[in-house]
Amino acid sequence: LHQPMFFFLSHLAFVDLCFSSVTVPKMLENLLSQKKTISVEGCLAQVFFVFFAAGTEACLLSVMAYDRYAAICHPLLYGQIMNKSLYMQLVWGSWGLGFLDALINIFLTMNMVFCEAKIISHYSCEMPSLLSLSCSDISRNLIALLCSTILHGLGTFLLVFLSYARIIATILSISSTSGRSKTFSTCSSHLTTVTLYYGSGLLRHLMPNSGSPMELIFSVQYTVVTPMLNPIVYGMKT
């Protein structure tokens, strides 16, 4: 029962480490130095890995939600449903989708022409910041960004939502209070992680791209704080 979840957790921990490693070193360098610059190549690399890590994590969280659905709603068939072949395909498919999404977006970004003013009002390079600096047509970039949002934002969230709708229905059908509590505890850590990830991501992307203090706070929460909290959440549960 636990082998697939441990496999998922190992990949989630690694992608969280990658997520933080993309932005934190450069952020600390800018805080400690007077010269706050980044090369175009370095900025594009940062955008690529942010897309890669964020997309992969969203897919992994939806896969883990399906795993909890299979374990709670179909406990007797769990071993057949979540077999080794399937859960490995789901995990590596998550990495593949994240990589493909990042590759498409960064390829389109590399063809952009930037204006003379190259001041990013942010602590890291993000796609909206780069698009605001472009002097060329960015319609294809906006379409690609919209597709990414639909796939890795709305799409994965709907998968998580549907999985938990079935899970909640199953929990409510259990007659004993202790049984409901024990069953809910098996997915409480994942539910906390999902809330942190999608909650901070939604707050971050609802803020205008203006470099305001509130926007920076939500951005740090999304790219730094949430990946750091995930191991703590699962560690406390373990």
Domains and CATH numbers, the chain: 3-237 (1.20.1070.10)
Considering only the C-alpha atoms of the chain, give the largest distance between any 2 of them, rounded to a whole number of Å.
Answer: 67
d(C-alpha 193, C-alpha 195), whole Å:
5
Measure Cα distances from 171 to 182, 187, 192, 238 in Å. 10, 11, 17, 21
Distance CA 86, CA 135 (A): 46
CA–CA–CA angle 26, 31, 34 (5° rounding)? 105
Question: Tens of pLDDT along the chain (238 residues)?
Answer: 467 888 998 999 899 888 888 887 777 777 777 777 777 788 888 889 988 999 999 999 999 999 999 999 998 899 899 999 999 999 999 999 999 999 999 998 888 877 766 777 666 777 777 777 778 888 888 898 888 888 888 999 999 999 999 999 999 888 888 888 888 888 888 888 898 888 887 877 776 665 566 766 777 777 777 787 777 777 665 4
